[in-house]
Structure 1
């Protein structure tokens, strides 16, 4: 009898069937776990798996804790980017270098320093690429530009009003007017 317990292949009748059925036991137990009781299936509001309702249905994985969140949405691949603005949008009478009224011309640390090119406005800490410019009847020029500076991007419409002699330029931005002198 001891020999039957220690040696494989030696045993009492009926044990070989047990060896065949033993590996099937986990499959039978798993099948029984998925079965719903008839009474439970009829009850509304009974949660079969609480994790199905606890986790939101998302297609994207959560961003990493140190991920960079973009400020602007990614460009639409199907829509082509608009063509670059043609040169010469800003009239020649306002192009050039401008500084604050009390500042020295050429002082790069002046916060009011401005260089106006035909297609861009270069301020002390930002640059605006001109998207459109239109002249008004009173001599004002409305300039819409896409600005970048200090890690940010924005679009703004500025009103440029040169003086009659061309020595001064008043720029209105969001209701605030600043006058500069030509350098």
Structure 2
């Protein structure tokens, strides 16, 4: 072995003088247990917001006159001869308060006008199959609420409620 390696090896085996110079310092982990440590209380949160929380106003629930389709017309509809729940049915339609979802297009309601005879006229902006257009539809619901007739450009189609 080289003299430097022997010197380093000898230094590793030599007991430390740290315990004699500093009382209460353990030279190895096994010689002395640590003193009992008492957890300190958590400091108070010193974070103070610079700006007040934003105020978010929620608009009141709009009525039918505010451009929403009346509740009597809302729901799922399909062709008179179609089976309810058949999403592939050509006359399948879902009417929400603010949109009409047809089989291959969606119409966003722009205006709703209620007639005196229970009919409503809906102006909607449609999108579907890569195109956009606007249309005015006249809707009439049957007395029992089970049938809906929609007149589009002079053509009337009747659907049943699902």
Q: Shorter-chain-normalised TM-score: which range?
A: 0.5 to 0.7
TM-score (norm 2): 0.59
- Structure 1 unmatched ranges of 5 or more: 1-85
User: Cα–Cα, structure 1 residues 145 and 168, in superposed 2: closer, same or farther, change >3 Å?
Assistant: same
Counterpart CA distance in 2 for 1:150 and 1:124 is: 11
The answer to whether the Cα contact below 8 Å between 1:101 and 1:179 also exists between their aligned partners in 2 is yes
Task: Deviation per CA, 1:8-35: give whole Å up to 9, x if none.
Answer: xxxxxxxxxxxxxxxxxxxxxxxxxxxx
Q: Does residue 105 of the first structure (1) align with residue 50 of the second (2)?
A: no
Q: Does residue 119 of the first structure (1) align with residue 110 of the second (2)?
A: no
Task: State the superposition RMSD in angstroms.
Answer: 1.2
Counterpart CA distance in 2 for 1:110 and 1:156 is: 22
Asked which structure has the greater RCO (Cα within 8 Å, sep 6+), the reply is 2
Task: Deviation per CA, 1:86-141: give whole Å up to 9, x if none.
Answer: 68510000100000000000001100000000000000000000000011011110
Counterpart CA distance in 2 for 1:166 and 1:143 is: 18
Structure 1 segments of 4+ aligned residues over 6 angstroms from their partners:
none
TM-score (norm 1): 0.52
- Structure 2 unmatched ranges of 5 or more: 1-61
Q: Does residue 152 of the first structure (1) align with residue 131 of the second (2)?
A: yes
Secondary structure in 1 matching 2:72 = helix
Counterpart CA distance in 2 for 1:94 and 1:166 is: 8
Partner residue of 1:129? 108
Partner residue of 2:118? 139
Aligned length: 98
